[in-house]
Chain A
Amino acid sequence: MIGLAAALSGVLFACGLYLLLSRNLQRMAIGFLLLSNGINLFVLTSAGLPARAAPPLLVEGEGASRGPFADPLAQAFILTAIVIGLGMAAFLLALSTRHHDASGRDDVEGDDET
C-alpha cells in the first residue's frame, strides 16, 4: 500500500514537473495541478499508515483509546494544501488569460538577453 502510493506520488510529480517546465501556459496549468496532487499524496504517504488503522473519527466515550488511527495531522495539512492549490491554479489561469489579452500569446518568454 505504502509502496504503491509512493510510486504513484513519484509518477504524478514527474509528469507534473515535465509539463511545468514547458513555456506554454496551458501545459503549465495542467502540470501545476498534477504536481500539487503528487505532493499531497507524497505528504500523506510519508506520514505512514498503521496496520488496521481507522479514520481519525472518534467515538464519544471511547476517545483515542480505540486506535490505531490514521495520522490526522497529515490529513489536515493536505486539506489545507488542496484548497490553496485550487486558489493558486485560479490565479495562474487568470494571469494566463490576461497575458494572452495583452500579448496575444499563450507562452512566456525567457530572459535570455544576458
Chain B
Amino acid sequence: MQTILIAIIATPFVGAMATLFLSARWAGRIAFFPPALVLVLAIPRWPAAATGETNIVTIPWFPSAGMTANLRLDHLGAFFVLLIAGVGLGIVQYSRAYLGKKATPRFWAALLAFMGAMLGLVLSDSLLLLFVFWELTTLASFLLIGMGGQIPEARAGAIRAFIVTGAGGLSLLAGTLVLGQIAGTYDLSSMPARAERILASPTRDVALLLMLGGAFAKSAQVPFHFWLPGAMAAPAPVSAYLHSATMVKAGIFLIGRLSPIFGASPAFQPLLLTVGLTTFLVGGWDAVRAWDLKKLLAHSTVANLGVLTALYGVYPPAEVQGGIVRGELLSITNHALYKSALFLLVGWMEKVSGTRDLSILKEERWFQREPVAGVLIGIGAITMGGFPFLLGFMSKEVFLEALLHARFPGVVAAVAAAVVGGAMAVVYALKLCVSTFWGPKVPPDSRGYPRAALSRWLLVVPAVFLLPHVIGGIAPGWFIGSVLEPGTHWPAWIAVWHHIDRIFLLSVSTLALGVGGYLLWRRYAEVPSQPETQIAFDRLASTVLGASNWFSHAAQAGGHPRYLVVMLVFAAAAAAAAMRGGSPPPLPGAEAWSVDLAAASLPAAIVAAGAVLAVLMQDRVSKVVLMAAAGYGLAVFYVLFRAPDLVLTQILVETISLLLLLLVFQRLPRLGADERSRGQRAMHGLFAAALGLGVAALAWASGIHPAARPAGVEQLALSLPEAKGRNVVNVILVDFRGADTLGEITVLAIAAIGVVALRVGRARREGA
C-alpha cells in the first residue's frame, strides 16, 4: 500500500520534471501517462475504500518533534484521487488540441505538478504534509492563471488569487500548529479519538477559526469569494480543472477531514451553515448578473461550493461517517463533472463565435451552427439548474431533504435561502443554454476562429464528463447507492414522481421561481460593470501598498544612521518591555561588589578612558591606539571574570585589529573633522548615551540576578564524563555546541572570500 500511495503522488511530479526537458509536442503526449497511470493504480482500490476500509501508511519524518508524513487512503481520499486523475486525464487530452502552440512545456509541467500536489493533499494524513501540498497547489494555480503573463488582467487575477489563497494557507498553517499543540499529534486520523480533549481546550475556537479560514479562502467562500472570478483569466482547461473540479474543492475536503474532530464544537455547524448559505446566495446573485459566460460559470462555482460547505453544517455530527455526509460525494461529482464540462464547452464556444459576451451572443442563433455543443451545454445547464432526470436534480433534492430534517433555530430561513439560491441557479442555467443558442439573428461568419483549426473531436471530452449525469439521473440507486456511496439508500430508478411531498413542492416552486426570474432577466437586464467586491479588493490592495510604501520611506530613508537608530529603538523597546515587571531581590551568593574591586579599578579606568578618548581625539592614529588600549584593558577584565581563554583570544584579536586598522587607514585619506553638524552630533551623542545607559542597566540587572539554573551548569557536569575534556569552554565549542562553531567558521570563510574578492577585483583593474 505504501508503494502504491507514494507512486500515485510521485507519478505526476515525475511527469512534470520530464516535460520540462521535452519539446512542447512531446510534453503534451507524455502528459497523458501520469493521470492514466494514477487511474490504473487507484481504481482497483475503490471498492474496498468505498465500503469503509481505511489504509494508513506510517512514514516518520521528524520523529523527535512528533512530525510524520503519514498517508491515508479512505473513502473520501480515494474519491478525490479518482476525481483528480479522471478529470485530469480528460483535461490533458482537451488541452493538447485546444491550446495548440500555447501549451508550452512549462504549462504541462505546472499542470502535472498541480495534479501531483492535489493528489498529495488528499492522501495526506499528516496535517503538516497536507499544508505543504496545499501551498504547492496555490503556487501551481498562480503559474497557470498567470500563463498569459503579458495580459494585465491575467497578471492581476493571478496575483489576487495568490494573495487570497496564500493568506488562507498561512491561516491554515497557524491553525495546524495550534491544533497540533492541543491534540499532541499532527495526524488527522488520530485526532477524532482525542476530540474530547481538543474540544475542552480554551484555544479550540482559535484553531477551528484558523483552519476554516484556510478552507474558506481556498474554496472561495464569502468573504474570500472574489478571487475565483479573477482566476478566469486562465485558459478554459485550467479553469475547468483547477477552478471548478479540483483545487477549489480542497477546502471542502479539509472541512470533511475536520468534521469528525470539531463536529461537536458549538461553533462548527452554525458557522458552516451561515457561511455556506451566504456564499450560495452571493455567488448565485453574481452569476445572475454576469454577462461574461466564463464569469457566470465562476460565480455559479462559488454558489455550488457554498452548498457543499452548508451540507456539513446541516447533518448532525453523529451522521458524518468518515468525514463524509450523505449526498456529499454525489454533489461533488455532480458539480465537478458538469462544471468542468461547461468550462470546456464555453471555451469551445468562445473560439467558435469569437466572444463569450452574452450581450452579443443572445442576439444570435448559434444552435444552427453548433448543434452538438448546443446539446451538450444544454445537458450541463439542465443539471446545473437542478432540472429533473439528471444528477443535479438528485443533488438538490438531497440538500433540501437535509435542511427539512434538520433541527436548528432559523431552519425556515435556511430553507428559504436554499429555494432562492436554487431559483437563481435556474435563472443562470437558462441564461447559459437558451440565451447563448436561441437568438433572433443568424450568426455572422466574420467573427471567430477559422473552422478548420478546431476539431469536433474536442467535444468528446465534455461529452464523457457529462455521461455520469445521465447514468446517475436514470439509475441513481445503482450509481450513487452502489458505486459512489455504498451503504446509503437511494431510489433505484428515476425518482421524479415517486411521491408528492414537501421536497417535491419545494423543487417545483424553485423551478417556477427560476423560470419567472429568467423571463424577468430577459426583459429588464442591462449590461452591468464588474462585481463590487472585486473593485473593493483592488482598492484595499492599493491602499495597503500605498501605506507600506509610505512606511518604507519613513523608516528607511537617510542612510545607515537612520536605519541603526530605528533598529536600536525597537530593540531597546523590546528590552524595556521585558524589564518592566521590576526586579526581584538579588539571589544570595551573587557577588555585586567584591574584593576584586581594587584589582578591577585600574583596567576599568583604562577601558573607560580609552573608549572616551577614542571618540574625542581628532588624530586617527591616536584614535586607533586608544581603541586598542580599551581592548587590552578588557582582556584584564576577562582575567577577573575567570575566563582564561577569552583573555588569550582578546589579546590576539586586539593586536590583529590594531595592525589591520593602521595598515588599511594608510590607504584612506586623512581623517577630517567630524562631518556631522553640531546638532546632529548632539542628537547622536544623546542617543548613544541613552542606549549605553540602558545596556549598563540591563547588564547590571541580569548580572546580579544569576539564573536559578545557570545555562552552563549541565555542560560543567557533563564535560569530563561525556566529552573527556577538562577545559569546559573548549568542550562547548568543539563538542556540545559544535554546530555553532561550524557556523562561526562559515561566517569567517565568507568574510575572507569577500575580502579576497574585493581585493582581487581591485588588483585586476590596476593591472589592466
Contacts and interface: CB of A to CB of B under 8 A. Distances in A.
B653 A41 contact: no
Contact of B644 (A14, A55, A88): A55
A111 to B, nearest CB: 6
B703 A82 contact: no
Interface residues on B, range: 35 or more
A20 B693 CA distance: 17
B630 A18 contact: no
Given A10-B699, A74-B711, A63 B688 contact: no
B669 interface: yes
Nearest to A110: B559
B157 to A, nearest CB: 32
Interface-centre pick from B596, B597, B713 (highest chain A CB count, 10 A): B713
Contacts of B687: 17, 21
Nearest to B711: A73
Contacts of B706: 47-48, 50
B291 to A, nearest CB: 44
B678 interface: no
A112 B558 CA distance: 5
A111 B615 contact: no
Contacts of B688: 13-15, 17-18, 21
Contact of A73 (B601, B715, B762): B715
Nearest to B634: A37
Contact of B630 (A1, A37, A53): A37
Given A22-B675, A34-B614, A63 B720 contact: yes
B54 interface: no
B607 A8 contact: yes
B592 A17 contact: no
Interface string B50-75: 00000000000000000000000000
Nearest to A87: B751
Interface string B675-711: 1100000001101110111111111101111110011
B768 interface: no
Contacts of B696: 6-7, 9-11, 13
Contact of B660 (A5, A67, A73, A90): A90
Contacts of B675: 22-24, 107
Nearest to B757: A94
Given A10-B692, A56-B728, A114-B553, A83 B668 contact: no
A54 B643 CA distance: 9
Interface string B613-656: 01100001001100100110010011011111110011001001
Given A83-B748, A110-B559, A64 B717 contact: yes
Interface in A10-69: 10-27, 29-30, 33-34, 37-38, 40-42, 44-51, 53-60, 63-64, 67-69
A51 B676 CA distance: 46
A41 B593 CA distance: 17
Interface in A77-114: 78-80, 82-91, 93-98, 100-101, 106-112, 114
Interface string B721-755: 10000111100110001001100100110011011
Given A21-B564, A107-B675, A15 B642 contact: no
Given A4-B604, A72-B712, A87-B747, A108 B699 contact: no
B664 A96 contact: yes
A14 B699 contact: no
Nearest to B648: A79
B498 interface: no
B592 A76 contact: no
B674 interface: yes
Nearest to B693: A10
Given A26-B620, A30-B614, A42-B699, A80 B591 contact: no
A98 B761 CA distance: 9
A64 B761 contact: no
A63 B75 CA distance: 62
B600 interface: yes
The 5 closest A-B CB pairs, nearest first, are A14-B692, A10-B696, A110-B559, A73-B712, A48-B706
23 contacts: A3-B700, A6-B697, A6-B699, A10-B692, A10-B694, A13-B696, A21-B561, A42-B698, A44-B646, A48-B703, A48-B707, A48-B710, A50-B591, A51-B589, A55-B642, A71-B712, A79-B646, A87-B748, A93-B661, A94-B758, A96-B668, A110-B561, A112-B557
Given A23-B676, A38-B611, A42-B699, 9 more contacts: A1-B597, A1-B600, A3-B700, A10-B696, A22-B684, A50-B589, A53-B642, A72-B715, A89-B660
Interface of B: 553, 557-562, 564-565, 568, 589-594, 596-597, 600-601, 604, 607-608, 611-612, 614-615, 620, 623-624, 627, 630-631, 634, 637-638, 640-646, 649-650, 653, 656-657, 660-661, 664-665, 667-669, 671, 674-676, 684-685, 687-689, 691-700, 702-707, 710-713, 715-717, 719-721, 726-729, 732-733, 737, 740-741, 744, 747-748, 751-752, 754-755, 758-759, 761-762
